[in-house]
Structure 1
Amino acid sequence: MAQSHSILMGQYSSRKPPISSELHLKMARSLTEAELLDATAAELSTYLRSGTLNTHALADSLAYEGLDIDDWERVKRIHFCLSTPVRKFITQLPDRVRRIKTEHQRDQRPTRGEVRGAIDWSATLRTRAESGYVDQSRFVCNTPYTEYDIPENRVLKRLLWVIHRTVSTDLEPIEYDWRHEYWSDDQIRDFIRLYRQNVHLNRISDGQSLSVTSQDMTTARRSRLSLYTDAYELYDAYQRLQADTFDPDITELLANTLVIPTRAPQLYELFCCFRVIRTLNAHTPGFRLQPIDGDTDALARFKSDDRRIDVYHDRTGTLSFYEPLDGDRPTHPQFARYHDALTDYATTLETLTGSSHEPVLYNGRPDLIIELYDTTSQDELLTVLIGEVKYSDAKQTFKRGLAELLTYRRFGTADDVSLLDNPDISVAGLLITNGITTSGTSDRLVHCNGSDLLANDSASSQQPDWIRPLTQQLPEANST
């Protein structure tokens, strides 16, 4: 969700306007939360398989309640443990672990004054000979013992260590509804107790220090016990997930759980970003989605021979939307009062909390930024599209989103120069709502709904109005 900060913003007032200024907006089809979940999971699955999304930016975009993470490896581990197969496996574990497989072995051990198991007389005589046959109480016995550290159990213990580590460290501290829906307090408590106290599991080597080999995996896969074949399938899936090997079963596992804990407004933003990326892919001939190696916060990147498009979600990109309160106090009485209010806020905050706070006129972060560059010689910024997304059909939310977007346009800068003051950069806006139709048009921005984005994802569809400021800067457009 976009972040913007400036106190006493009159345009955000919740007071009901006079009847004469009521908005005349029509309702359009809105996406339900169920439709949103399905559509976002499908989009996410597609992009994960393509390998073109910046997964580190994606991890940060998936802002789950109670999880402050931007580590893609950790995100994958958490959602592996949220998946249905893992939770089913853990539910069945208490009964199955009672029938854990062992091997009966014999260990040749020297004893004195007692016999433990069958006596190995040849080894016993050699031992006595070494001492000159003085001590006739010495024996070497083949002592039976039960071996738990076998290939199948190594796979099982390593899998359980991964789940235990994640559940106890990442999930247990979270007190939000989505966590309780997947892992209740009782389920977490019972599993942690089982992992730490079960006598059979404790006789297998420590899961963290275990090294599972390909031969161990093969043995578990061929086991006649479902405990081990299931453990093999889950640990194999986990290894492929951590290696970003997005086979169909892995993308299904990940996509179906990644979107669940995300709040609907945040999920709607991500859905709109995915659809914007898909529309760009369909309507920018000569461009190709490129894998991102982590040198940028962009969620997606397109490249052609001489152009580059970077798509950011909940980031400022290479731009800035920050304006400190500096300079002389305004002479206009209303502006002066606003200046004084900002100064009072900063000084009072510091007095109450002890932390310094410089007065800020404006600080914002759009939901969506698209930057188009000419890369012929060096990166030259040509076009900026700023987007604001609102998962609502409320008129007041529409007004707030419109005000935020237009404020971004005014305060956005590139290299400390206002975007609107730079004649070499064209600036466009995109306001996306969920179920509101406007009858008019504006040269400052385009308004649409998320459902509209579903109709513009193929090259044969009509080019949407919001994309034209970008395509007009392409060489093909300039040559026609």
Structure 2
Amino acid sequence: MTRSLTATELVNTTTEELSTYLRSGTLNTHALSHSLDYEGLDIDDWDRIKRIHFCLASTVHDFVTSLPDRVRRIKTEHQREDIHTQGEVRGSINWSATLRTRSETGYADRSRYVCNTPYTEYDIPENRVLKRLLWEIHRTVTNDLEAVEYDWRREYWTDDQLARFDRLYNQNVHLNRISDGQTISVSMQDMTTARRSRLELYTDAYDLYDTYQRLEADTFDPDVTDLLAETLIVPSATPTLFELFCCFRIIRILNRHTPGFALQPIDGQSDALAHLESDNQRIEIHHDSTGNLSFHEPLDTTDRPTHPQFARYADALTDYSTTLETLTGDTNDPVLYSGRPDIIIEIYDTTSDDQLVSVLLGEVKYSNATQTLKQGLEELLTYRRFATQDDEYLIDNSDVTISTLLLTNGVTSSGTSDTVTHLNGSDLLTSSRQYQRYPEWLPELSDNISECWPRK
């Protein structure tokens, strides 16, 4: 009986892999932001995603919850300043300054005073750190989370908690006397003062804002990646996590078992999730992206098919396009086929003008149902037929090897296929240790790699 991965295994393994790749700097965070599926949010901005993760962390939640009591004992400094008055005395009179002021008018107005007046200063280093931190939290929960009407958001921030925090931030008399958080630029000296404070309010604010700054700078220390891992599961759909799990495990297999290849950082121009390079080849791993391929087949409306069933289907697509525009005004060119595999691995020969030499198309189904396997199999084999590069079908290109991989979560398949390899997620948990040869389901590598690690 094939074993299914439990939700706990999936979460633990995925977050462990995510932490590893983020710390190594080899994961394309721009591509990752497209993969993190937040129900109710349409966000593919990595910086915003990090802020959301930060605001979902338990440490931030606990800090905000305890804030109403703590802010009553906010620290201030008592200062004195010289102010000019007319006919009244505020504080002690600075006589030397008063006489200088009166002398400017020839001592004609003896009701003018310069008074050394006491005042309470709120804009001190500790409070600047606190207010900037609260501004970062407030703008995120207000702009990104408040309008989300899904259970996962309420598990972190209830409607009542959001309302209380908004009132506190905007109406608290002590916080309002500190400069606007958006205008505050926190200095290293401000951070040092907050860190050394005797009040827990400020040492906690320092800890959180320090974590926030490192998160924003993509400094993925263990505590920062732990924060990301802590908040990953609930806002992300489980099927998407399963897809990421499969991607990460395949990357691990490639990284550990391809001699001469190494994971490389990716610049912002690539949409690959990760890539490995050797002296003569580059491997690109894409998730939720067509990569450098196309899976789109427009309907040729210039020549009606001669086969009666094909002609009828083409007429139906044309009718849909025409009727849609009539009813809604939306234009839609008739499309014979359009799709996108869950995983694409492309291998390029970098010594020959980046020529594509091998491709893996992968379809991932988070299910143990045989019917779902059948659906994934149909999708996968259709991708294989329609995959193109530069308007050429890969299946017709003898210079490109195509592999296909179907991944499920506990489906038992009794036979084997020369065209499609079927694996379960549990196979990937141990595959990095069990493979002693280059896995036959991965796409072809160069001859020198194949010689040192032949296929099964």
Provide TM-score, normalisation by structure 1: 0.92
User: What residue number does 1:319 align with?
Assistant: 293
Distance in 1 separating the partners of 2:282 and 2:233: 29
Give, as a single letter, the amino acid of the residue that structure 1 aligns with 2:43: I
2:18 matched residue in structure 1 = 44
Q: How far apart in 1 are the matches of 2:260 and 2:367?
A: 35
User: What displacement does 1:459 show?
Assistant: 8.1
Aligned positions of 1:210-221 closer than 5 A: 210-221=184-195
Q: How far, CA to CA, are the matches of 2:444 and 2:252 in structure 1?
A: 15
2:348 is matched with 373
Following superposition, the deviation at residue 238 of structure 1 comes to: 0.5
Q: Secondary structure at the match of 1:437?
A: coil
Distance 1:75 1:139 in 2: 56
Identity of aligned residues (%): 69
Question: Does residue 434 in structure 1 map to residue 399 in structure 2?
Answer: no
In the aligned structure 2, how far is the partner of 1:221 from the partner of 1:460? 50
Q: Secondary structure at the match of 1:369?
A: strand
Q: Deviations over 1:117-165 (max 9, x none)?
A: 1112222222223322222212111111110000000000000000011
CA RMSD of aligned residues (A): 1.4
Find the counterpart in structure 2 of residue 85 from structure 1: 59
What does residue 272 of structure 1 align with?
246
Confirm or deny: 8 A CA contact 2:258 2:449 kept in the other structure: no
Could you tell me how far 1:460 is from its partner in structure 2? 6.4
Instruction: Report the 3-state secondary structure (helix = DSSP H, G, I; strand = E; otherwise coil) of the residue aligned with 2:50.
Output: helix
Which residue does the alignment assign to 2:9?
35
| TM superposition shift of 1:283 | 1.8
Rounded Cα–Cα distance in structure 1 between residues aligned with 2:258 and 2:311: 48
Q: Which residue of 1 aligns with 2:323?
A: 348
2:319 is matched by which residue type in structure 1? Answer: D
State the match for 2:282 in structure 1: 308
Specify the alignment match of 2:37 in structure 1: 63
Q: In 2, distance between residues paired with 1:57 and 1:82? A: 22
Q: 1:266 corresponds to which letter in structure 2?
A: T
The residue that corresponds to 1:53 in the other structure is: 27
Counterpart in the other structure of 1:12: none
The 10-residue stretch of structure 1 (342-351 or 279-288) with the greater mean CA deviation from structure 2: 342-351
Match in the other structure for 1:424: 399
The 8 Å contact of residues 437 and 448 in structure 1, kept in 2 or not, is answered as no
Q: Is the 8 A contact 1:282 1:459 kept in 2?
A: no
Deviations 1:332-367 (A, max 9, x none): 222222222222222222222111111111000110
1:190 aligns with 2:159: no
Counterpart in 2 of 1:96? 70
Distance 1:144 1:302 in 2: 65
Match of 1:21 in 2: none
Aligned to 2:369: 394
Runs of 4+ aligned structure 1 residues displaced above 6 Å come to none
Matched, 1:476 2:449: yes
For 2:281 and 2:295, the matched residues in 1 are separated by 25
Secondary structure (helix, strand or coil) at the match of 2:181 reads: coil
Q: Equivalents in 2 of 1:264, 1:196: separation in Å?
A: 37
**Is 120-129 or 86-95 further displaced after alignment?**
120-129
Rounded Cα–Cα distance in structure 2 between residues aligned with 1:421 and 1:318: 17
Contact preservation (8 Å) 1:372, 1:381 = yes
| Aligned counterparts of 2:158 and 2:84: Cα–Cα separation in 1 | 51
CA distance in structure 2 between the partners assigned to 1:110 and 1:343 by the alignment: 82
1:360 and 2:335 are equivalent in the alignment:
yes
C-alpha contact 1:283 1:458 (8 A) present in aligned 2: no
CA contact (8 A) 1:40 1:259 kept: no
Match of 2:109 in 1: 135
Counterpart AA for 2:254? L
Displacement, 1:67?
A: 1.3
Moved more, 381-390 or 457-466: 457-466
1:287–1:86 distance in 2 versus 1, CA, 3 Å:
same
| Residue 170 of structure 1 pairs with residue 133 of structure 2 | no
Counterpart check, 1:384 vs 2:359? yes
Out of 299, 309, 312, which is 1:337 matched to? 312
- Report the more deviating stretch, 400-409 or 345-354: 345-354
Secondary structure at the counterpart of residue 355 of structure 1: coil
Distance in 1 between the 2:272 and 2:122 partners?
49
Higher relative contact order (CA 8 A, sep 6+): 1
1:266-303 CA-partner distances (Å, limit 9, x unpaired) = 11111111111111112211000000011110000100
What's the TM-score, normalizing by structure 2?
0.96
